[in-house]
Amino acid sequence: MTPLASYRRLLHLAGPTYVLIAFVGRLPLAMSQLGTLLLVSTASGSYGLGGLSAGALAVANAVGAPVAGSLADRVGQRPVVLVQSLLGATGLALLVAVVGGDAAPTTVVLTAAATGLLLPQVGPLARVRWRPMTRTTGTHQRRLVDAAFSYEGAADEASFAIGPALVGLSVAAFSPGGAMLLAAVLLAVFGSAFALDPSARLTHAAERPAGSGRLLGAAFLVLVGAQVSIGMLFGATQTGATVLATDAGTPGVAGLVHATLGIGSAIAGLATAYVPERIGHERRALVAAWALLALSLPLLVVDSLATATVTVLVLGVAVAPYMIAVFSLAERVVPPARVGAAMTTLASATGLGYALGSSLAGRLADQSGATSAFAVTVGATVLAAGLMTTQQRRLRTAAAPVLADAPALDSSATVVRTG
């Protein structure tokens, strides 16, 4: 089955409505981090407080997401995501009110943290749905799941391009508060629709092999560290772009600059479906990690929004292939009944990395400007390359039994449309 045929098959299985809902439903999380950074830093005049608030939102989301993922594994995604969507939308609106009311810095940070705790991780939970949605596709399932993860990686990156872009446009047209309220509306509508989609029923643990199994094995912890590094890249790059844009007198443009990271990444993500199956995901992660390092180095010499935009666009080409390989490995090294917890844990690791990257970059930027913020980006890629270089054997060994034990299903099985 060709990659293009795989994508067509996936669209037929899920339905175009589901694909649209699952994509738009992940935009609010992508908007919330930059939106919080701009909202708070603009109102307070401090990049440090803005970075701390955005980091608090990300850390709280990192703490809450695995809990929500584990709960969704047990009781199903529908009730969990529905409650998160409605409460998360309320939290985003409340954060705007708190900042607009000139609340104390502690109150602002705590409100941001409470909001982050409630926001659903739609992207990781959407990944969980693909294996049960493709279970009737016989011997094509493994290829379809790989293609689905390539699509999801591209969709995540596109969301982190469109989300910041929406923030930038909303800030330019209205205000940072308007951008956050838009995120709240999108979450309430599309997050709830994602929760209520029929495909959510397929993810209940009762419909998967019995036994929870161990989640935090050595190989999975390596993958957690890998996602921390990419999260640091996101947070630091976003902060550096914000400093450049603010210094130029156009803070809303920061979202458009950071959005270019997702453009190249989304294109590269879709293209990973064309990588031969014989090239293992651990090898793909290794190549992508070193590409991240090489492509991030020019950030140390950028001195304008134009050069930063071009550099960030090129850097994005390595981001989605790296993340797709990491998430694909995780799906293979954890027990089937723990996939929801695994996907949300990796998303949490990304959020934790974002918090570390944005907070550190924000503090350094207050002292030395954008270049020191971008130095944190480069440091994150060094971490990624180091992990993937030293842990190849561990990852390959952990994934091998899963691939060897994969059942040979009937290739003539009928495809069942779920949405």
Q: What is the mean pLDDT of residues 393-398?
A: 82
Q: Indicate the pTM of the whole model.
A: 0.74
Say whether pLDDT at 413 is over 60: no
CB 40 within 8 A of CB 30: no
Q: Which of 326, 325, 314 is nearest to 261 (CA)?
A: 314
Residue 172: per-residue pLDDT: 78
Residue 214: per-residue pLDDT: 59
Task: Supply the DSSP symbol for 408.
Answer: -
Say whether pLDDT at 244 is over 90: no
Three-state DSSP state, 323: helix
Dihedral of the alpha carbons of 129, 131, 133, 135, in degrees to the nearest 10: -160
Say whether pLDDT at 354 is over 70: yes
Q: Which of 304, 343, 300 is nearest to 131 (CA)?
A: 343
Considering 55-59, 291-295, 359-363, the range whose residues carry the highest mean pLDDT is 291-295
Residue 227: per-residue pLDDT: 92
Residue 293: per-residue pLDDT: 94
Q: What is the mean pLDDT of residues 165-188?
A: 87
Using alpha carbons, list the distances in angstroms from residue 278 to 9, 86, 141, 171: 22, 43, 16, 46
Express the helix, strand and coil content of the chain in percent, nearest 5 each.
85, 0, 15
What pLDDT digit, counting tens, does each position of 324-342 carry? 889 888 878 777 667 777 8
**Which of 118-127, 201-210, 281-290, 303-312 has the lowest average pLDDT?**
201-210
Look at the chain and count its residues: 419
What's the start-to-end Cα distance of the chain, in Å? 23
What pLDDT digit, counting tens, does each position of 109-161 carry? 999 999 999 999 888 888 888 878 877 776 676 778 778 878 887 788 788 77
For residue 408, count other CB atoms closer than 10 A to its CB. Answer: 8
Domains and their CATH numbers in the chain: 3-201+214-404 (1.20.1250.20)
Three-state DSSP state, 395: helix
Q: Which of 126, 113, 14, 119 is nearest to 77 (CA)?
A: 126
Q: What is the mean pLDDT of residues 82-107?
A: 90
Task: Supply the DSSP symbol for 249.
Answer: T
CB 256 within 8 A of CB 312: no
> How far apart, in whole angstroms, are the C-alpha atoms of residue 131 and residue 234?
28
**Which of 48-62, 214-228, 243-257 has the lowest average pLDDT?**
243-257
